[in-house]
């Protein structure tokens, strides 16, 4: 039951953050809010994955932050809908730019996050053991 609560709480916060970001950055032809959410979410999930890969497992924290928060914060369905709408608009090249920026940027940022998370985890272990 604790796992469900961890995912629920993290997902609630992630969805709330996504909503606030949409209200703060929305209102243009290009889907900036979803791009920002998915790129920053990729970086964060990479960071968390790298950090927890090299650390003792903390399953409820991992579930709350990874599955819950990042799952609620990022959005594949909005990305897919917005890409389709852009591709069918009067500026389909914007859809290709959005698609490329999201996919390439997301994978690159996840890799950077993983690398940083791994380093942070190792650095923290060294500081504790010294």
Q: Which residues are annotated as a binding site?
A: 71, 74
Q: Residues marked as binding for Na(+)?
A: 71, 74
Q: Distance between CA 10 and CA 71 in Å, rounded? A: 8
- Tally helices (H) and strands (E) across the chain: 6, 0
> What's the maximum distance between 2 C-alpha atoms anywhere in the chain?
61
Phi, psi of 60, deg, nearest 5: -75, -35
Residue 74: both structure tokens together: 């990022």
């Amino acid at each position: 039951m604790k796992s469900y609560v961890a995912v629920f709480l993290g997902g609630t916060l992630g969805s709330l953050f996504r909503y606030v970001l949409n209200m703060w950055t929305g209102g243009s032809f290009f889907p900036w809010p979803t791009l920002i959410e998915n790129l920053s979410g990729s970086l964060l999930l990479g960071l968390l994955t790298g950090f927890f890969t090299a650390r003792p497992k903390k399953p409820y924290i991992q579930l709350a932050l990874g599955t819950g928060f990042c799952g609620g914060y990022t959005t594949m369905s909005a990305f897919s809908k917005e890409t389709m709408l852009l591709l069918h608009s009067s500026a389909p090249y914007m859809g290709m730019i959005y698609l490329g920026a999201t996919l390439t940027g997301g994978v690159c940022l996840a890799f950077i996050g993983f690398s940083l998370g791994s380093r942070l985890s190792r650095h923290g272990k060294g500081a504790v053991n010294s």
